[in-house]
Amino acid sequence: MPDLNKKDEDRMVRYRSQSLRFLQDAMEEIRGGRWLRCEELLWGSLTLAVKGVALGRGKALEDGLKAVEDYASELGNENRDRRIKEAFAKLAAFSDTAERVRESRIRADHLVATLEDVTGAVEKLWDMAPGGDQLFGPTSEELDELEEMDGGFDGRG
Taking CA atoms, 14 is separated from 10, 22, 111, 126, in Å, by 6, 12, 28, 13
Task: Report the pLDDT value the prediction gives residue 98, as an integer from 0 to 100.
Answer: 83
Which H or E run contains 125?
helix 109-128
The rounded average pLDDT for each run of 10 residues, N- to C-terminus, in the chain (157 residues) is 81 93 92 87 96 91 89 95 94 87 75 88 92 51 52 40
pLDDT recorded at residue 157: 38
Give me the pLDDT at residue 104, please.
76
Q: DSSP label at 67? A: H
What's the whole-model pTM score?
0.79
Degrees to nearest 5, angle at CA 43 with 151 and 115? 30
pLDDT of residue 2: 67
CA distance 156 to 137: 27
- All structural domains of the chain: 7-135 (1.20.120)
Whole-number pLDDT of residue 148: 56
